[in-house]
């Protein structure tokens, strides 16, 4: 009986200690719950505008008749003197594109030119002396001077031919599409492609499914880089199926070849006095259009709208909104 009582007491004490231990561990490990303060969501809004919207038609005008020509220096270690063109420039045959320093050659040419001028002055002087005094005979001297002038002319001709290698000239009418950064370093070599030009017939085409009112023989403008080109519409071809129309252009100015590809942007008739919002404000649910407005407490609410065309990033609102209302940008 004593043993049973002692066992019960020990068991009770053990359970009490276990329960006490569990209670203490729970206090230490209990997570601290923190609730952040409520922050109201703010939305970016824009006003519903009323006015005119001018739609545009953008076409890529292309030519299949172009050839590329790369230009290289004729010698190694040529020192750049002057760069006459930039990308997009139109050039004509024989036009100097880049020149290189050729100090010695230029000085020699100048020396021979000066010598030739002095010889001519002496010839004129001797001729006048002979006219004044017939007994004076400078025939041999004049003959020698003329021979000397011919020699000078031959040297000048040779040096000018050599000087040609110190410049790069266009081999035809074309457009500069690449000017190498190597030229900016000041010294280039014979293997360096320093310029690229394209040459063509000046014939272009574009295709479109738009109903823009193109007129044959009218002039349209297209751009490449910083240059603008005038193109004359020569014919319109109807394409099969839903491929639209092919527009055939030619350069409006003789001798100008343009570039391989250009961009033509045409203004279409304006939509007058319409309501519009940025297209990012409009969303669709089951083919119905909606925008979000803000209520008096700043919360979003969906408003059903009827929309028209989306032009230049703006969607026309036909019903559902008024000018000046604020809508949320999604």
Instruction: Name the residue with higher pLDDT: 322 or 67.
Output: 322
Query: Is it the case that residue 11 has pLDDT exceeding 50?
Result: no
Contact between 85 and 176 under an 8 Å Cβ cutoff? The reply is yes
Contact between 91 and 85 under an 8 Å Cβ cutoff? The reply is yes
Give CATH for domain 45-53+270-328: 2.40.420.20
Predicted confidence band at 162 (pLDDT cuts at 50, 70, 90)? confident
Percent pLDDT > 90 in the chain is 55
The pLDDT score that the predictor gives to residue 9 is: 41
The pLDDT score that the predictor gives to residue 66 is: 79
Four-CA torsion 314, 317, 322, 324, nearest 10 degrees: 0
The pLDDT score that the predictor gives to residue 38 is: 57
pLDDT tens across 279-326, in order?
999 999 998 999 999 988 889 999 999 999 999 899 999 999 999 999
Over residues 146-172, mean pLDDT: 89
Query: Is it the case that residue 12 has pLDDT exceeding 80?
Result: no
Percent pLDDT > 70 in the chain is 86
Q: Which residue has the tokens 């010698």?
A: 75
The rounded distance, in Å, linking the Cα atoms of 254 and 324 is 53
């Amino acid at each position: 009986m004593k043993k049973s009582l002692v066992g019960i007491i020990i068991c009770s004490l053990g359970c009490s200690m276990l329960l006490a231990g569990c209670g203490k561990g729970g206090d230490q490990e209990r997570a601290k719950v923190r609730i952040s303060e409520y922050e109201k969501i703010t939305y970016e809004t824009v006003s519903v505008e009323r006015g005119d919207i001018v739609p545009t038609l953008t076409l890529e005008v292309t030519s299949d008749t172009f050839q590329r020509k790369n230009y290289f220096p004729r010698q190694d270690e040529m020192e750049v003197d002057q760069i006459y063109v930039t990308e997009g420039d139109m050039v004509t045959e024989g036009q100097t594109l880049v020149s290189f320093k050729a100090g010695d050659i230029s000085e020699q040419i100048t020396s021979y030119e000066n010598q030739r001028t002095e010889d001519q002055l002496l010839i004129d002087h001797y001729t006048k002396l002979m006219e004044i005094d017939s007994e004076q005979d400078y025939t041999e001297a004049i003959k020698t001077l003329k021979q000397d002038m011919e020699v000078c002319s031959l040297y000048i001709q040779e040096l000018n031919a050599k000087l040609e290698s110190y410049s790069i000239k266009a081999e035809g009418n074309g457009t500069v599409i690449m000017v190498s950064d190597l030229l900016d370093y000041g010294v280039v070599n014979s293997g360096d492609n320093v310029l690229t030009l394209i040459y063509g017939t000046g014939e272009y085409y574009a295709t479109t499914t738009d109903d823009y009112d193109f007129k044959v023989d009218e002039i349209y403008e297209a751009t490449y880089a910083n240059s603008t080109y005038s193109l004359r519409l020569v014919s319109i071809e109807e394409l099969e199926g839903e491929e639209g129309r092919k527009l055939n252009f030619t350069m409006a100015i003789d001798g100008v070849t343009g570039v391989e590809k250009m961009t033509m942007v045409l203004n279409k008739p304006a939509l007058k006095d319409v309501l519009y919002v940025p297209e990012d404000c409009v969303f669709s649910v089951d083919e119905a259009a909606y925008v979000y407005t803000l209520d008096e407490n700043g919360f979003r609410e969906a408003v059903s709208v009827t929309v028209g065309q989306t032009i230049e990033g703006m969607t026309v609102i036909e019903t559902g909104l008024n000018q000046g209302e604020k809508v949320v940008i999604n």
